[in-house]
Amino acid sequence: MHIEPFYDARTSTLTYVVADLVSRDAVVIDPVLDYDPANGTTWTESVDRVTAYLQREQLRLHYAVETHAHADHLSGSQLLRRRFDARIAIGERIREVQTTFRPIFDLPASFATDGSQFDHLLADGEMLGAGSLTIEVIATPGHTPACVSLKIGDAVFTGDTLFTEDYGTGRCDFPRGSAEALYDSVQRLYALPDDTRVFVGHDYQPGGREVRWQTTIGASKAKNPQLSATTTREAFVLLRRARDASLPAPRLLFPSVQVNVDAGRLPAPHANGHRYLVVPLNVLRPADELGEPTPRQQER
């Protein structure tokens, strides 16, 4: 098994091609569609790099797998579906995420909240076949309800659940996130053998170090500053909630989630031929009609 990482510096996102170089079977995990919110432009540089690699290595792509509905980048999975006839898979609890965000974006009643926009919904414990590759699905909710980690051979792809051992874990302050659930999810990962390779969904380069995408379960249990093997549930929940309260919202939060709950599809064009993303105002921090925080918000 070969793992080829691709790093998008704009969103600190890691995309992976996992391949059997004998059979040429492959899956892609967490592909990126480039987007500039300043001018509303999308482009395909990130997914083009993945495409070029797949073509150069003559790989047969079976799935584009999402570890969750990302809140920091738009998914490039639909382009891989178009270019390689790949299927798109995500955790089955995406239904809860869709149900949560449909009213936030005022999506029409016709917007399905049953996950049917995706080709395959992943169940906890499922063994997903992709040619000669087998993907074991481990439900790891907390960052979002639909988060899954993907174990392939001696490697596990943890998305935003667990980062490198010098950084920590994913945040839990998005709608339906839960620090308690994340703690329990990481315990499931820590039950894997210590030499299991961990491939993370983001690297924020703490201290300005070079980009990293790999650690091990053993290193995480020993050194993770937010959640090591000796961290209690109560201590982690207090730490995670305090840290989350200090973090700004992701720059692409609303564009990303709006597109990603629809399996990476851009909104349908309006009558004038243009597509529009909805940006709800003051959902996270309530304010009145002039933009002034409401009394309830001021008291916080």
pLDDT digits (tens, 9 = 90+) for 92-102: 999 999 999 99
- Average pLDDT estimate for 40-61: 98
pLDDT greater than 90 at residue 10? yes
Position 295 confidence tier, pLDDT thresholds 50, 70, 90: confident
Q: Can you tell me the mean pLDDT for 249-277?
A: 96
pLDDT value at position 299? 46
3 versus 298: which is more confidently predicted?
Answer: 3
253's CB contacts (< 8 A; 6+ apart) are 71, 72
Question: What span, in angstroms and rounded, lies between the C-alpha atoms of 274 and 262?
Answer: 18
pLDDT exceeds 70 at position 25:
yes
Q: Where are the alpha helices (DSSP H) in 5-155?
A: 45-56, 77-84, 94-104
What is the reported pLDDT for 223? Answer: 98
Q: Residue range 48-57: average pLDDT?
A: 98
Q: Range with the lowest mean pLDDT among 15-19, 139-143, 145-149, 277-281? A: 277-281
Domains of the chain by start residue, with CATH: 2-268 (3.60.15.10)
Spatial contact of 280 and 300, defined as CB atoms under 8 Å apart: no
| pTM (predicted TM-score) | 0.95
Q: How confident is the model at residue 70 (pLDDT cuts 50, 70, 90)?
A: very high
Task: Give the confidence band of 296 by pLDDT, cuts at 50, 70, 90.
Answer: low
Instruction: Say if residue 16's pLDDT is above 90.
Output: yes
Joined together, the tokens standing for residue 144 give: 């979002």
> Which pLDDT value is given to residue 284?
83
What lies within 8 Å, CB to CB, of 136 at 6+ separation is 125, 126, 127, 128, 150, 151, 152
pLDDT digits (tens, 9 = 90+) for 274-294: 999 999 999 888 999 999 999
Structure tokens at 65: 């797998």
